[in-house]
Amino acid sequence: MNKAVEVTRGPLIESTHMAHIAVVNSQGELLYSYGDPERITYARSSVKPIQALQVLETKATQRYDINEREISFMCASHSGETYHVECVKEILGKADIGLDKLNCGIHVPGNSDVYKELIESNVELSQSHNNCSGKHSGMLISAKNMGEDLDTYLDINHPVQQRILDNISYVCDYDKEKIMLGIDGCGAPVHALPLERFAYGFARMADSVKLEEKGVFVDKITSSMMKYPEMVAGRNRFCTDLMRVCGDRIFGKAGAQGVYLIGDKKNKLGIAVKVEDGNGQATNCVAMEVLRQLGSITEEELKELNNFYNPKLLNARKDVIGEVRSSFKLNKLAYENNRQ
């Protein structure tokens, strides 16, 4: 039975989480798996680094002098901290686009400490606080640079979304016509592919020579994420801390409902994780355990990231009453992927 993560209370396992995992190399070989590596999965925000690719390809970053910090932010699911909100203004300001052109909606920041600070500071929530506002900023400046309509940039038939769809198809080596589409929480199209295709896409991003002329843009995106990890998420967030600790060789991006994608530049691997019930704490735990089993992370790094790898559970009095721990072993099953 698939019990990838255990949640304990005292001596008992109180609950478990199912997971699906695919580990693929840049040659397209599925090296390791757990659960169903072919599970059709919405990537949610985990493919934001691929979605950002068209911003660089259309030369919007050149025209509007977008720096590495801002490129990293275009890949973000951020916490709405002050420097995140300011970055939205900086990007759109460079292209002379008003904040009112954002069409991502408003939501409370996921980090409760950030939300408390906003309330105490009497700051009114805006679309800039939306965790996807960096992605939307990138979409808007690329549309403006190409002379395209700014009001309909989220429509699937808009050139921005078609470029994104083409890039997901190319990077993940999956037929564009087979990609299933939905609508994400921010209103943008969201893409579903087999889990191992996302792993392959991130493996190719980690070994960017495989992406030919797109490789130089991919390198710029991933290096920006690793150089400015705080822009990708925020304080006490897994994406930020993972790249802060391992950012010389590993880039990672979370997606809602238990998705996590990782590129391992040193070993030229892509890792895709989907926790079946969407639990974020379990997702982080699984991602960390995969890195550990692959030998992609050192014991020292594992220790520094232990709050994500093996978090202790506290009650209202701050007593330790249990833990979240991994309980799976990857299946080794390399085969050459002969997909058409």
The residues of the chain scoring below 70 in pLDDT are 334-340
Q: Which of 138, 178, 156, 150 is nearest to 49 (CA)?
A: 138
Backbone angles phi, psi at 291, to 5 degrees: -60, -40
Q: What is the pLDDT of residues 57-92, one digit of tens each?
A: 999 999 999 999 999 999 999 999 999 999 999 999
- Please give the angle made by the CA atoms of 158, 150 and 127, to the nearest 5 degrees: 110
Q: What was the pLDDT predicted at 338?
A: 41
At 24, list the tokens.
């693929």
Report the run of H or E that residue 252 belongs to, with start and end. strand 250-255
At 299, list the tokens.
């014991």
CA 329 to chain centre: 24
Q: What is the pLDDT of residues 144-194, one digit of tens each?
A: 999 999 999 999 999 999 999 999 999 999 999 999 999 999 999 999 999
Q: What was the pLDDT predicted at 336?
A: 43
Q: What was the pLDDT predicted at 1?
A: 75
CA atoms of 184 and 250, how far apart (whole Å): 26
Report the run of H or E that residue 304 belongs to, with start and end. helix 299-304
CA atoms of 146 and 160, how far apart (whole Å): 9
Q: Which of 337, 292, 288 is nearest to 311 (CA)?
A: 288
Q: What was the pLDDT predicted at 111?
A: 79
Q: Which of 250, 245, 254, 225 is nearest to 303 (CA)?
A: 245
pTM above 0.85, yes or no: yes
Report the run of H or E that residue 68 belongs to, with start and end. helix 68-73
CA atoms of 235 and 37, how far apart (whole Å): 31
Integer CA distances (angstroms), 327 to 3, 205, 324, in order: 7, 29, 10
CA atoms of 270 and 203, how far apart (whole Å): 4
Q: Which of 182, 166, 104 is nearest to 140 (CA)?
A: 104
